[in-house]
Chain A
């Protein structure tokens, strides 16, 4: 059970993650100046989603851990997207 390898991330990888997050935060502020109508939310969500993915993959070690964690995480995200899709299915046909 406790035999699993532990991956130790380097400081460089932490700083790269931090840099990416700061950059994307700047991007999400910047895009507010573009008028994209109903795509505003979509773009904001995509940027936020990318940030979450970076945190999960590198900072939270999903890349280096046992595959099962990655599988569960992806499954949960798919479930969430389905729920979101069904909710907006109602809105788009009202």
Chain B
């Protein structure tokens, strides 16, 4: 639209904007990308709290050997539901669903995503998926297979796995629809002048992620359905008794689930690439290297799934190939770390909460990445596969990587989203406590794993006691930190100091040129772009 149609009403923020529906309906039926993003945020907050509570209960069980607060069946149910929620409900939709929805159109100068209705539909499908997963609570009890649903256990266990399988299947559709939406949005709706290499890095990583969502998710959908059929009708695809191959299940599962770990982490890498230059007051070092390494990660990430199956009985040559490819995929990740560090070098650092989350991200991401390489080497893997070492690895990289970058993003964009500012003192305190708790919780697990403590058991031998005490105390500390952070943010979203400052951090990307909070369609005039992003003089 042209500026002449602009009226005063267009300056109403999207939070106050009145569309067709009022009250809560104005949210759950809104196709405004910003409201959809916030719907995802609130949903995730609820289910993250639930799954984190399960995690804390497991750590309390492990504070001493033997029965502490729960028995084996309860423990198995807990790590299963914890894993399913954390993976399929929190970190897979994660940053794209919340910050991608909210900020992608803002950052590329569009009024919305390409298919706003489809966008709302993906949230609804997401909610239906969650409800189906959780329905097992009321019909037939909790599953006990772990989030991986490995064959043949997933169709032999007497526990109730069908709702979880169906629920995860449905959640996949939500992910695919978001992916399609973002691919089209990025291809078709960039502001005039924003060529591909003038696009900011967060949209770039969303683009790489979206392709993985579209191309890999169908594989898990089919696999979960086949597992349902195997369980209900015994079709004989995975069941060795019927001539099926359980290792085929692992192949199919990881053909999705390894690329899925890049769905989880790539947008996080994008957020960090936004924050580091802004808080260093410097142009990002090696913009193209970051773009190309994101695409390379997305591509090579398709071919390394076998590193989850080193002990499964795959052929020796396949083992060798997968180990080699796994080492390759670490290279583009490392390139990014060099880029960030080089960006900070001699910058004038602005030490604020988003920056703290971002630098601590780099640290935990590197610990996670290096432990991944340890796991990726064949000989070492035989010893530490299915031990607490693996648990430490993926918590460092999923919780440390995706979780920290999520928090960084939230603290970075908070005032833009809510038109209010959080209490910086509490935000920093929360970060310190959380970070300290995180390290205390997960670092000992590396040692425990190398000593041979297996994962997914409710009990352990006495020699693992010391490490577990430290780790469980760390869990309590970390949850305290998380509580400080979340309470501060929730409180501030409602009662924090009001602000309409457009660009509090001095960012150079387009989202900082819109009103705070943005209006219904973001722009009166679509901006046009001349400079590359991050041009600090």
B215 at the interface (CB under 8 A from A): yes
Check A94 against B315 for contact (C-beta < 8 Å): yes
Check A87 against B251 for contact (C-beta < 8 Å): yes
Shortest C-beta distance, A65 to chain B (Å), equals: 14
Check B303 against A93 for contact (C-beta < 8 Å): no
Check B317 against A83 for contact (C-beta < 8 Å): no
Instruction: Give B316's nearest chain A residue, CB to CB.
Output: A93
Number of interface residues of B (CB under 8 A): 14
Check B215 against A94 for contact (C-beta < 8 Å): no
Check B321 against A76 for contact (C-beta < 8 Å): no
A29 at the interface (CB under 8 A from B): no
Instruction: Give B245's nearest chain A residue, CB to CB.
Output: A91
Number of interface residues of A (CB under 8 A): 13
Shortest C-beta distance, A83 to chain B (Å), equals: 6
Contact pattern, A 65-94, Cβ under 8 Å of B = 1, otherwise 0 = 000000000001001001100110111111
Check B215 against A90 for contact (C-beta < 8 Å): no
Contact pick for A82, options B188, B247, B302, CB 8 Å: B302
Shortest C-beta distance, A62 to chain B (Å), equals: 17
Contact pick for A93, options B247, B251, B318, CB 8 Å: B318
Within 8 A of A (CB), among B303-322: 303, 306, 314-318, 321
Check B314 against A82 for contact (C-beta < 8 Å): no
The DSSP consensus for interface residues of chain B is helix
User: CA of A87 to CA of B247 in the docked complex: distance in angstroms?
Assistant: 11
User: CA of A81 to CA of B501 in the docked complex: distance in angstroms?
Assistant: 51
Check B314 against A79 for contact (C-beta < 8 Å): no
The DSSP consensus for interface residues of chain A is helix
B255 at the interface (CB under 8 A from A): yes
A8 at the interface (CB under 8 A from B): no
Contact pick for B215, options A76, A86, A87, A89, CB 8 Å: A76
Task: Using A86-B318, A92-B315 as known contacts, list a sample of 5 further A-B pairs with CB atoms less than 8 Å apart, ordered by residue number in A.
Answer: A86-B303, A87-B255, A89-B318, A93-B315, A93-B318
3 tightest A-B CB contacts, nearest first = A93-B315, A90-B318, A94-B315
Instruction: List, sorted by A's number, 30 A–B pairs whose CB atoms are closer than 8 Å.
Output: A1-B188, A76-B215, A79-B215, A79-B302, A82-B302, A82-B303, A83-B255, A86-B303, A86-B318, A86-B321, A87-B251, A87-B255, A89-B315, A89-B317, A89-B318, A89-B321, A90-B247, A90-B251, A90-B306, A90-B314, A90-B315, A90-B318, A91-B315, A92-B315, A93-B315, A93-B316, A93-B317, A93-B318, A94-B314, A94-B315
Q: Residues of A with Cβ closer than 8 Å to B?
A: 1, 76, 79, 82-83, 86-87, 89-94
